Amino acid sequence: MASWDLTRRSVLAGAAASVLVRPAFAASADPEATIAVVPEARTRVSAFLSALDEDLRAKAQFELGSPTWRTWNYFGLNLIKPGVPLREMTETQKEAAYGLLGSVFSAHGLEKADRVMHLQDVLAARGDSRRSSENFSFAVFGEPGAESPWAFRFEGHHLTATATFMGDALIAVTPSSFSCNPNAVETGERRGMVALTDEETLARTLFADLEGASARHALISDRAYRNIRTAAGREDSLTALEGVPAADLTAGQTDLLWALVETYAVDHLGYSIADNQRTRIRTGDRNAVHFAWAGSNREREPFYYRVSGPTFLIELGTVDREAQHLHTIYHDLDRSLGRHVLAG
C-alpha cells in the first residue's frame, strides 16, 4: 500500500477521533433558520486557509453566490472539481482540510466518504489513469466572519458535501451526495468493500414488502430512470409528489422509510447537527412523504427510487446495467445552499 494512502488514513482517523471527543455544539440560536451553532467550524476553516500558501489560497476561495457556488457537480467528465485537490496539499494542509470536514461530519460520515474516494483508486487499478482518491477538492466560499455568510464544499467524482454558515450558525447541509462506481468491489486490493449499503438494501426491502394498491402506486415506471433528475440548477424540478404516501404504509414499512431517509439526511452528520436534522426531516405532514420506485427489484438490475417529503427530496438512479454505478442526491427543499437566509 502506498505511503500517501497510509498517511491519509491516519489523517481520517485523527479527524474522526476529534469529532468523537469535541464538546457538544451550542444550542441553535434561531431554530427557524439554523441547524446548529458550530463555532469550531469557523476556527477550522481559518486554520485550513492559513495553512495554504498564497497561490493555493487564491485557488481555494470563491465568492458566495458565484456560478461556481451554484454549479455543484459530483459527476461529469471533469474529474477534478473547483478548489484545491488533495493531491496538491501537504500532509499538514490535508490534516487541516479533514479537520474542517470533521466539524460537520460524524466518524461514520468520514468513513463513508473515504470508501467513495477509494473507488477512484479501484478504477485506476483497472486501467483508468485519470482516477485518484487524491483528486477530491476543498473549496471555501465567502470570507468566514463572526456574522458573515460563508460555506465550504468537499467535492470530487461521486461525492459532494456543502455546508453553509452564517457566522458560527450552520444553516444548510445540502446538496449532499455519496455515490459510487462500483458499489461492490469484487477484485483487487479492495475486494469485499461495499461503498453504499443501506441506500440500496433499505429501499429494495421496502419496495419488496409493498403489496396490492401500495405496490401499484409506488411503481412509477417499469423502466429505471438512468440518473437523478435534480442536478445543479434543477433542484426544484420534481415538485409533484409521486408514488405511495407514508399514510398507506404499515408500521414496519414506515420504519424502513424513515431509516432510508436518515441514511441520506442524518447518519453522516455529527452530534447536534444530526439531532436537529432528524427533527427537521420529520417536520410537516409525515404521512405525506411519498416513496416512488422505477425499474426492477432484482439484484444487479437497474432501478431508481425517490423519497419526497415536506422538507426534503432524495433520489437514487442506476447508471449502468448491473446496478453498480449509483448516483444519489439529498436536497433540503427550502434550505439548499442556504437560500432561506441568503439573498440571490
Tell me the mean pLDDT in the region 66-79: 95
Tell me the mean pLDDT in the region 252-279: 96
Residue 109 has pLDDT above 90, yes or no: yes
Tell me the mean pLDDT in the region 274-283: 93
Same-domain check for residues 133 and 12: yes
List of E strands, the chain:
36-37, 61-62, 84-85, 137-141, 149-156, 159-166, 169-172, 176-178, 219-221, 244-245, 290-295, 303-308, 312-318, 326-332
Same-domain check for residues 218 and 153: no
Q: Which of 31, 63, 67 is nearest to 148 (CA)?
A: 63
**pLDDT for position 6:** 36
Residue 344 has pLDDT above 80, yes or no: no
Q: Is there a domain that residue 185 lies in?
A: no
Tell me the mean pLDDT in the region 260-282: 95
Same-domain check for residues 213 and 160: no
State the chain's mean pLDDT as an integer.
Answer: 91
CB of 69 within 8 A of CB of 337?
Answer: yes
Residue 242 has pLDDT above 60, yes or no: yes
In terms of DSSP bridges, do strands 169-172 and 159-166 run parallel, antiparallel, or are they unpaired? Answer: antiparallel
Chain segment 148-191, per-residue pLDDT in tens: 999 999 999 999 999 999 999 999 999 999 999 999 999 999 99
In terms of DSSP bridges, do strands 137-141 and 159-166 run parallel, antiparallel, or are they unpaired? Answer: unpaired
Query: What is the pLDDT confidence band of residue 33, given thresholds at 50, 70 and 90?
Result: confident
Q: Is there a domain that residue 191 lies in?
A: no
**pLDDT for position 252:** 98
CB of 166 within 8 A of CB of 341?
Answer: yes
Q: Is there a domain that residue 343 lies in?
A: no
Helix pair angle (251-265, 198-209), 10° resolution:
160
**pLDDT for position 8:** 44
Rg from Cα positions in the chain: 20
Total domains in the chain come to 2
> Does residue 38 or residue 239 have the better pLDDT?
38
Chain segment 280-289, per-residue pLDDT in tens: 999 889 999 9
Query: What is the pLDDT confidence band of residue 32, given thresholds at 50, 70 and 90?
Result: confident
Same-domain check for residues 213 and 165: no
Residues 16, 133: Cα–Cα separation, whole Å: 18
Same-domain check for residues 251 and 125: no
Same-domain check for residues 74 and 160: yes
Residue 304 pairs with which residues in a beta bridge?
294, 317
Residues 15, 9: Cα–Cα separation, whole Å: 10
Q: Which of 226, 188, 301 is nearest to 75 (CA)?
A: 226
Same-domain check for residues 127 and 21: yes
Residues 192, 202: Cα–Cα separation, whole Å: 20
Model pTM score? 0.91
Q: Is there a domain that residue 189 lies in?
A: no
Q: Is there a domain that residue 192 lies in?
A: no
Query: What is the pLDDT confidence band of residue 271, given thresholds at 50, 70 and 90?
Result: confident
Same-domain check for residues 219 and 300: yes
**pLDDT for position 312:** 95
Q: Is there a domain that residue 184 lies in?
A: no
In terms of DSSP bridges, do strands 149-156 and 159-166 run parallel, antiparallel, or are they unpaired? Answer: antiparallel
**pLDDT for position 31:** 53
Biggest CA pair distance of the chain: 63
Chain segment 189-235, per-residue pLDDT in tens: 999 999 999 999 999 999 999 999 999 999 999 999 999 999 999 99
Q: Which of 191, 88, 97 is nearest to 134 (CA)?
A: 88
User: Dihedral through CA 183, CA 120, CA 51, CA 273, nearest 10?
Assistant: -10
Query: What is the pLDDT confidence band of residue 13, given thresholds at 50, 70 and 90?
Result: very low
Look up the domain containing 232 and give its range.
198-338
Same-domain check for residues 171 and 248: no
Q: Is there a domain that residue 301 lies in?
A: yes
Q: Is there a domain that residue 344 lies in?
A: no
Same-domain check for residues 171 and 205: no
Grid cell of 334 as nine digits? 427550502
Residues 132, 117: Cα–Cα separation, whole Å: 8
Same-domain check for residues 162 and 202: no
Same-domain check for residues 301 and 169: no
